[in-house]
Each structure stands twice: as structure tokens, then as C-alpha cells.
Amino acid sequence: MVEQEARKHAEAERAKAGVPEVFQLEWVQQRYIEISRSQPDGRLLVRDFLAWIAHFSLGQAWWELALNDATGHVLRTARSRSQGET
Amino acid sequence: METDPQAGTKSIAEDRLWEYLEGQLKKQGQADATEYLRHFLKPQAGEPVIRGDLTMVPFDMYHRVSDYTSKLDASDGSIMGWHFQVLADDPGDAIPAADALKAAEAEAAPPAGAALKVSEYERSADAPFFVARWEHEENGIPVEMDYIHVLVNGKSGRPYALYRKWHTLDFKPKER
């Protein structure tokens, strides 16, 4: 996936991920990230992914989606504690 | 497990030693200080020497000059960080930054993929200290949250703290 495709995926996935419409996509950056998933047997399995971090902002408030480079699906969401006036 | 056949004798002698030291402090009107004695002093018993009816136990006395903290990875025992405060005391910036970086590099031993991101003097509470920070990159792509951070006393040229989080990329799910 190249940057332009990552931007398209970010815009396509944002609503499902909960990013309010008023937030603007500022930048995307490729990174390796660790994702952990709890298993039914209680174990916590971790693996690395090549991902695109999509950063949305509104003033000081922000959302970030981590998109799987291979599929474009959201691996992780994060947001600033303060969400401004949204 | 081997046991020290003289352990009982040494233990009794150490009890006597603490009693003596605490008694000396009390004589000097510093009874409140006795509770700190065991924090600042550490006796290490030598081999008992028997002279006639007397059994004498020599002690090497160690004085705590600084706290030292370290953090180890529970999975493999590797060092994740350490901080030795006494080496940070008496700060300065006399050492050229290039030399401070060499000292930091020797301590950090940055592996392949380590990209130097910070190499400069900073100040905290108006005291200078040198910071070197490497971040993990693979083929130019950052590996999130992986770094090595070293603090160097710019007067002595000695590193006094290291913080390390680093891992080898693995795309198969497993426990870490």
C-alpha cells in the first residue's frame, strides 16, 4: 500500500471507527506496531504488523487509526483525552 | 545448596555489631538515626578467627552512597534499564558532545536498525546532562515504541542511566 491508498483507506474506515466528521485527516505514516490479542484460554498473543498510522485532528484534539498495510483494515484506534467541542 | 558452617556465628556477631553501632548513636544523642543505620550501612562478615576463648568475626563495612535501580526483562533477563544516581551528581557540560556520544554508544551498543535521533546537551533544574537516543527502524520504517535512551554526565563523561525497549520484529502471534 502506498501513501495515497492509505489515505483512502483511512477516509473509508473512519466512520466505522468512530472518528467524528469534523476531524481532518492530517497525515499518514508507515510504522511497525505491536498488536496484542487475548485468547480464549487466557493467553495474550502479540505480533507485529506493518501499518499506516492515520492522524486526524481538530485543534488540539486528535484521533489515530492504525491500518493494516496488507488489508487496509483498522488494527487499533486511539484518541486524545480531550475531544474539544465535538 | 551449600550452607556456610559459620553462618550462625556470623549472624550472632552481626547482631552484636548492630547493637554496638546503635548504642554509639544513642550515646551521641542521635537515637532517631538508628532506624536509618541498616539503610546506609551494610556489614559483610569475614571468616571467624578463634583466639583462645574468643571468636572474633571481622567485618567489611559498606556505606550506601547512592540508590541504583535496574529493570530486567522477565522473559530473558536482558537489561531494560538502569539508573545510578551518584554518577549523575556533580553535573557539567565540559565534555564535547561527540565524546559524550561515544560514551553513550559504548553503553548502549545500538544494534542494527538503531537510528540516532537525539545527541545533545539538555538541562534539567538548570543542570546540564547529555542525552543520546536511538530509535528502531527497519528499512527506514519506524518500529513503534522501540528505543535506547542514554544519559551521560557531561563533566565526568560517564553514562548514569540507560532505558531500553527493543524487540525483533515477528509477524507470527506468540506470547512475549
Does B173 contact A at CB distance below 8 Å? yes
Residues of A with CB under 8 A from a CB of B: 29-34, 37, 43-50
Give per-residue pLDDT as tens, B63-99.
Answer: 998 889 999 998 889 899 999 999 999 999 999 999 9
Q: Is the pLDDT at B149 greater than 90, yes or no?
A: yes
Q: Is the pLDDT at A62 greater than 80, yes or no?
A: yes
Element (H, E) at B128: strand B127-138
Instruction: Write down the pLDDT at residue B76.
Output: 87
Q: What is the ipTM of this complex?
A: 0.89
Give per-residue pLDDT as tens, A13-61.
Answer: 999 999 999 999 999 999 999 999 999 999 999 999 999 999 999 999 9
Domain definitions of chain B by residue range: 7-63, 68-165
Q: What is the CATH number of domain A3-37+46-79?
A: 3.10.450.40
Q: Is the pLDDT at A86 greater than 60, yes or no?
A: no
Q: How far is A34 from chain B (nearest CA, A)?
A: 8
Instruction: Choose the mutation target among A32, A37, A67 for the interface with B, i.e. most B CBs under 10 Å.
Output: A32
Cα–Cα distance for residue pair B12/B168, rounded to 1 Å: 51
Contact (CB<8Å) B141/A31: yes
Cα Rg of chain A (Å, integer)? 14
Q: Is the pLDDT at A85 greater than 70, yes or no?
A: no
Closest CA to B157 of B125, B121, B126: B121
Domain definitions of chain A by residue range: 3-37+46-79
What is the value of pTM for the model shown? 0.78
Element (H, E) at B124: strand B114-124
Please report which confidence band the pLDDT of residue B175 belongs to, taking 50, 70 and 90 as the band edges: confident
